[in-house]
Every structure is written in C-alpha cells, then in structure tokens.
C-alpha cells in the first residue's frame, strides 16, 4: 500500500524507494541525515525511530537499469 506519510500506529512501517521519487523516503533521508551509496545496484537499509515509530527504510540513489 502506498502512503504519502507514515502511519501513526501499527507495526513497523516499511518505506522503500529511490531517492527523488519517494516523498516519504526523501523526508526520512533528510531528517536522519542519511547519505546513500552511489555505487550501482547499492541499497541503504536502515532501522530508524521516528517519533516513537519504528521504520525500516530501504532506499537507493539510482533507478534500476534493465
């Protein structure tokens, strides 16, 4: 399910996206000061706490090439 913001209740929120294409992911990256790896096919996987909410962030910096 796609959401524009993090739900306030429930189990761990999972946010997956590419930098620049996910507003929620971009906000988390900026607020947590996370720098994404620039190598091709690299992923950033972080367990975060945002206002007492557990969040699993999975992000990359480049679109996947076919």
Give the pLDDT of the chain (66 residues) as one tens digit per residue: 566 667 667 788 899 888 888 888 899 999 999 998 888 788 899 999 988 889 999 998 876 555
**pLDDT in the model for residue 7:** 67
Which residues does 32 contact at the CB level (< 8 Å), separation at least 6?
46, 48, 57
- Would you mind telling me the total number of residues written for the chain in this entry? 66
Among candidate residues 33, 8, 65, the one with its CA nearest the CA of residue 57: 33
């Amino acid at each position: 399910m796609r959401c524009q913001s993090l739900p306030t209740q429930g189990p761990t929120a999972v946010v997956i996206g590419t930098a620049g294409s996910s507003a929620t992911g971009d906000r988390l990256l900026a607020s947590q000061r996370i720098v994404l790896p620039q190598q091709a096919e690299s992923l950033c996987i972080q367990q975060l706490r945002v206002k007492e909410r557990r969040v699993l962030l999975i992000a990359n910096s480049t679109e996947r090439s076919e």
